[in-house]
Amino acid sequence: MTLPLPDGSMPDRSVLDRLAMSSCLWEQRIAIVTNWMLIRHDEYADTLRIADRLLHHPHDLIHKAVGWMLREVGKRRMDILEDYLERHSHEMHRTTLRYAIEKMNAPQRQWWLEKDKKV
């Protein structure tokens, strides 16, 4: 499913990048949380791109928001979440990882939490 505007065009998503690059914490949070609507329409690329931008953010509100949106991706497409985690779990904040894997079963969660300790 796509997300066309009433005129049939797709919304300009460059605003998400501008918000993610803002110096304002709340604008950065809006940049990632806004993706929930896109995720619900099976559009994941923007979420992953913004998550990449915010992955090393110092504030826990961003860690939680990024993890939350990654978890939402995983609810619809676990393969996409697992691929993202495979590439980034070693560098993401523990809070982000915990939020992202929250809906996985206990053995899966434990595997992700211990994965990078084994390397």
* Domains defined along the chain, listed by start: 14-118 (1.25.10.90)
Summarised one tens digit per residue, pLDDT across range 61-99 is: 999 999 999 999 999 999 999 999 999 999 999 999 999
Which of 25, 23, 26, 77 has the alpha carbon at shortest distance from 48? 77
Its sign, for the CA torsion 111, 118, 66, 13, is negative
pTM: 0.90
- pLDDT band of 118, cuts 50, 70, 90: low
Kindly give the residue spans of alpha helices, DSSP state H, lying in the chain: 14-20, 25-33, 35-40, 45-54, 60-76, 78-88, 94-100, 106-118
Its sign, for the CA torsion 49, 45, 75, 81, is negative
Structural contact between residues 36 and 69, judged by C-beta atoms closer than 8 angstroms: yes
Summarised one tens digit per residue, pLDDT across range 99-117 is: 999 999 999 999 999 986 6
